[in-house]
A = this chain, B = another copy of it.
Amino acid sequence: MSVDPLGNEPQPITLADIAREAGTSQSTASRALSGRGYVARDVRERLLETADRLGYVPDASAQTLKQKTSRIVGVVVSDLDNPFYGGLAAGVEQTLREADYRMMLVGDNSENAEETAAVRTFISMRTPGVILTPVGSDATTLLHHRGVPVVEVDRRIATVPCDAVVIDNVRGAREAVEHLLALGHRRIALLGVATDWTSDAGRVEGYREAHATAGVPVDESLLLRFPFHDPTAGRRIGDLLDRAAPTAIFAANNLLAEQAWRVLRARGLALPADISLVGFDDVQWTDMVSPGITTVAQPTIELGRRAAALLIRRIHEPGSLAALELLQPHLVVRGSTGPAPRP
């Protein structure tokens, strides 16, 4: 690269520069580079060449200011550290990129305030649309009120009409619990999240449905709910084991499944001889531990892809009714589940 040896490029070059250099007007240069409007073949080529030669990069803020919308889609997930959200984001980005949009990814640590703050940033950036795993309804309301398309993914919370793509949590949970019931378990603990998330509510519902269908009454003392990041989760799970003597545990997300697994190992309980365990979300470790963990697998990246596709459609045709896409999970049976121990 043979450029300015002093390395100081004080002024970035603008459209005006390349217009002057190519001997045309700014208007023509704009048309040539943006590809909209008439411009003669040779003139266009000359302009493209000079732009390239001078290393012209259009100023996104000027474009956004003028066009009143940017090409950066806002995405907010609950936890950047959790592989589930990582996969989701990867799926979103992939589809967005194909449609020539960029992704701005933000984590909100499951805090309503952080979610709202992120959304405020998106609004100020004139984002064309937002994808989020909602933690509260404020953010979506804010966006909807501003006319910004929103797609909720993984959970539905919005109190205003908006698109969503979620998995069939009821069915996933039902299949998991049916599997346990079929193995003879009658005392199945449920570890869930103590929020108003629909994902969690659905999983509880599936748990109850399976019991109802099988004619097994639900012992409410077997249900345990946790805040999103609960440092005392391990102890509480231990208490549950002592207090309610379950023969199986259904953990409604990958974090709780891990916690439960660690407690069981610490107690030296054998899977599935002493107790059975089913998780939700097929993360990496579930097939590496022995025995492998039976779990409800979700199409994580596909969830992201669908959300992005839905958003793009909505950006292009804002009119139509709010859509709800329901993806199907499926139960992956591994060694962590077996017949209920005979007392």
Contacts and interface: CB of A to CB of B under 8 A. Distances in A.
Interface in A114-135: 120-121, 123-126
Nearest to A104: B104
Contacts of A8: 147
A58 to B, nearest CB: 6
A81 interface: yes
A105 B102 contact: no
Interface string A135-155: 000000100111100000000
Contacts of A9: 145-147
Contact of A61 (B65, B93, B285): B65
Interface string A1-39: 101000111101000000000000000000000000000
Given A3-B145, A105-B104, A284-B284, A60 B289 contact: no
Interface residues of A, number: 53
A276 B15 CA distance: 61
A59 B90 contact: no
A272 interface: no
A195 interface: no
A288 interface: yes
Contacts of A328: none
A122 to B, nearest CB: 9
A250 interface: no
Contacts of A90: 79-81, 107
Contacts of A72: 104
B145 A61 contact: no
A79 B121 CA distance: 25
- Which 9 pairs of residues, A with B, have the shortest CB-CB distance? A61-B64, A285-B285, A105-B105, A61-B61, A60-B124, A61-B65, A80-B90, A104-B104, A60-B125
A61 B145 CA distance: 20
6 contacts: A9-B145, A59-B126, A79-B90, A102-B121, A258-B284, A290-B290
A105 B121 CA distance: 15
How many identical subunits does the complex contain? 2
Given A1-B141, A90-B107, A258-B284, 7 more contacts: A9-B145, A72-B104, A80-B89, A80-B90, A81-B87, A83-B83, A86-B86
A314 to B, nearest CB: 15
A331 interface: no
Most chain B beta carbons < 10 A, residue from A72, A80, A144: A80
Among A87, A89, A262, find the residue whose CB has the most chain B CB atoms closer than 10 A. Answer: A89
A65 B57 contact: no
A103 interface: yes
Contacts of A321: none
A336 to B, nearest CB: 12
Contact of A144 (B7, B82, B124): B7
Contacts of A10: 147
A106 interface: yes
Interface centre among A12, A103, A146, A288 (most CB of B within 10 A): A288
A4 to B, nearest CB: 8
B86 A80 contact: yes
Contacts of A93: 80, 106-107
